[in-house]
Structure 1
């Protein structure tokens, strides 16, 4: 008998190599309902939207998930939109933005909220970081000319676009917050 302890044998898998790790979409499809809804609320703050998207799982691919999210967005009632808007925050300026930019953005947000009664939302997923401030200011200024009904429709569409981007990030990178803009 030797003085070296024997190491236990490594368990062998009866099915061969280890199974591949599930994708973000597979994890999303398999997540318990309450967790899925909680994750979805980070994409769009409407409980009705989150329940509807969660209830239609499993999704075969990201395109099917995004189509279901769009459909749920189109069916939001004014109270659903108001609930989602209550969860949104003001646009964050990039580091190093000048004080004048902060002042201009604050004034624009205040004018928008005074006119429409809710926070301004805009999807900046396709904007370069250096363009974000200009896009937000231009968006607020142009949308201030909208009548309330027209602005409700534009706002609902921007919420839908925000939810799509956040949902895509949630599925692609499930450990990252969906709200990262």
Structure 2
């Protein structure tokens, strides 16, 4: 079946993309959005300052590069804002107790929250992965753990930024839920 040409049809312009909205958002709004992904002012400022990004992959690559360049002070700033991963609904109370105890030991040794990226991991495996991660990383010396935590923060920032760009629709920049410009 051949398509019928309908005279007078007008193409309907598409709504702005999430990346387009991010690229054109006021600097303060872009920075706030970025700080929801990683609480490092230097990281957020650097990514916001290099807009516009031609595509999501370029933005995610910039996120990685900026995260690799964080100083120990920048890492400490970002780690202060992190919390333990949320356990899946229905996780039994003993698991919460085990998680709290392991985290307390980790925090006592390293002075910051335990961070781990669970990207791509099934929810039912999250608890075991987090507990194993805490136990194994407690054996690290502080410098080794700083490197591991920095890598986990980089992965978390990239995952959060990607999720935000993929899942927020046209509401990524506007906190009121309307598409930018509406």
- The interval holding the TM-score normalised by the smaller chain is 0.7 to 0.9
Match of 2:132 in 1: 138
Match of 1:50 in 2: 44
Preserved contact between residue 73 and residue 160 of structure 1 (Cα < 8 Å)? yes
**What does residue range 52-67 of structure 1 map to in structure 2 within 5 Å?**
52-67=46-61
**What does residue range 103-142 of structure 1 map to in structure 2 within 5 Å?**
103-142=97-136
Paired residues, what number? 163
What TM-score, normalized to structure 2?
A: 0.86
SS of the residue corresponding to residue 125 of structure 1 reads coil
Q: C-alpha distance in 1, partners of 2:157/2:129?
A: 19
Consecutive unaligned residues of structure 1, counting only runs of 5 or more, are 1-15
Q: C-alpha distance in 2, partners of 1:115/1:18?
A: 58
Match of 1:151 in 2: 145
Q: Give the ranges of 4+ consecutive aligned residues of structure 1 lying more than 6 Å apart after TM superposition.
A: none
Q: C-alpha distance in 2, partners of 1:176/1:25?
A: 9
How far off is 1:168 after superposition? Answer: 0.5
Q: C-alpha distance in 1, partners of 2:78/2:120?
A: 22
Q: C-alpha distance in 2, partners of 1:41/1:171?
A: 14
How far off is 1:176 after superposition? Answer: 6.7
Q: In the alignment, which of 21, 24, 29 is matched to residue 27 of structure 1?
A: 21
Preserved contact between residue 22 and residue 172 of structure 2 (Cα < 8 Å)? no
Report which structure shows greater RCO (CA 8 Å, sep ≥6). Answer: 2
Preserved contact between residue 24 and residue 173 of structure 1 (Cα < 8 Å)? no
